[in-house]
Amino acid sequence: MENFNSLNLEKTLMDSIAVINFKTPTPIQAQAIPVALQGKDILGTAQTGTGKTAAFGIPLINFLLKTEKDTALVMTPTRELATQVMQTMTSLIGRGNIRTALLIGGDSMQKQLRQMQRNPRLIVGTPGRINDHLKRRTLKLHKTTFLVLDESDRMLDMGFTPQIEMVLKFVPKNHQTLLFSATLPQNILKISEKYLNKPERISTGTTSIPIAKIKQETLQVFKENKYDELIDQFLARKG
């Protein structure tokens, strides 16, 4: 896959890709998108900043444009990541008629309930708030046939395993799952064996060192000065 034109995507999605000026696919996109478009499950390792969101977002939006009633769910570990994912999804939807809902903690429940009343076909959210809606019965997943678990290692580290497993009980047996993780610890492999159907293993780059865009620094301090130095660094840095 050298460019997006070779993928035979829905025209509305191709128009969106042109508007946001996606031209050359990143390695994770080049490997994952053709596999996902075939309807296969994916167990992928890729770090933040590698174009992973579009790697699952493009096949997801293409799937929703080709179907009429099926829905898709993307789960992420944090509300910040969920918000970023939704921004990318909205850009990819473009002129497509796909209603969405963002279900994250700390956000107005009333606003989310209004979104759910519109019968959204794409839901992005965090495991805790998604489970809240399942308990309230304001979220139904019986038509959810496309599932993305993003940054799964972080979700498990944050203790979300019970919530993820609860969500999977509500999703139809026949569905496509794309699971992405920066690392592949034993608990991720166990979940993939339990819930993924003959997944294609996709890995780009190394998982032990950060991508080139990420700058790392080390500060040597005495233990008793650590807290004060941390506060100074927060105050000195932007973003």
Instruction: Say whether 134 sits in a helix, a strand or coil.
Output: helix
pLDDT tens, 32-50? 999 999 999 999 998 777 8
The torsion angles phi and psi of 121, rounded to 5 degrees, stand at -100, -15
Please determine, for residue 152, whether its predicted confidence score (pLDDT) is greater than 90. yes
- Contact assessment for residue 29 and residue 187, using Cβ atoms and an 8 Å cutoff: no
* 11: confidence class by pLDDT, cuts 50, 70, 90: very high
- Residue 6: the pLDDT is 87
Average pLDDT, integer, range 136-150: 97
- Residue 212: the pLDDT is 59
Angle at 12 between CA 8 and CA 16, to 5 degrees: 100
Please determine, for residue 238, whether its predicted confidence score (pLDDT) is greater than 90. no
- Residue 65: the pLDDT is 97
- Residue 215: the pLDDT is 74
User: What residues have CB less than 8 Å from 137, skipping those under 6 apart?
Assistant: none
- In the chain, % of residues over pLDDT 70: 95
Instruction: Say whether 46 sits in a helix, a strand or coil.
Output: coil
The chain-wide mean pLDDT, for the chain, equals: 92
Compute the distance between CA of residue 165 and CA of residue 87 in angstroms, rounded to an integer: 26
| Cα–Cα distance list, 134 to 131, 163, 214 (Å) | 5, 10, 37
Please determine, for residue 156, whether its predicted confidence score (pLDDT) is greater than 60. yes
pLDDT tens, 79-112? 999 999 999 999 999 999 999 999 999 999 999 9
Top pLDDT among 159 and 2 is at: 159
- Residue 202: the pLDDT is 95
Instruction: Give the pairing of strands 176-181 and 42-45.
Output: parallel
The sign of the CA dihedral 187, 197, 200, 89 is negative
* Alpha helix stretches (DSSP H) within 150-197: 152-157, 161-170, 186-195
According to DSSP, the residues that pair with 43 across neighbouring strands are 179, 201
According to DSSP, the residues that pair with 102 across neighbouring strands are 124
- Residue 206: the pLDDT is 54
Q: Among residues 58, 8, 70, which one has the least CA distance to residue 28?
A: 58
User: What residues have CB less than 8 Å from 182, skipping those under 6 apart?
Assistant: 45, 46, 47, 48, 151, 153, 154, 207
Q: Among residues 26, 64, 17, 63, which one has the least CA distance to residue 48?
A: 26
pLDDT tens, 165-215? 999 999 999 999 999 999 888 989 999 999 999 999 998 865 545 555 667
- Residue 20: the pLDDT is 93
- Residue 213: the pLDDT is 62
pLDDT tens, 222-235? 999 999 999 999 89
Token pair, residue 238, equals: 């932007």
* 218: confidence class by pLDDT, cuts 50, 70, 90: confident
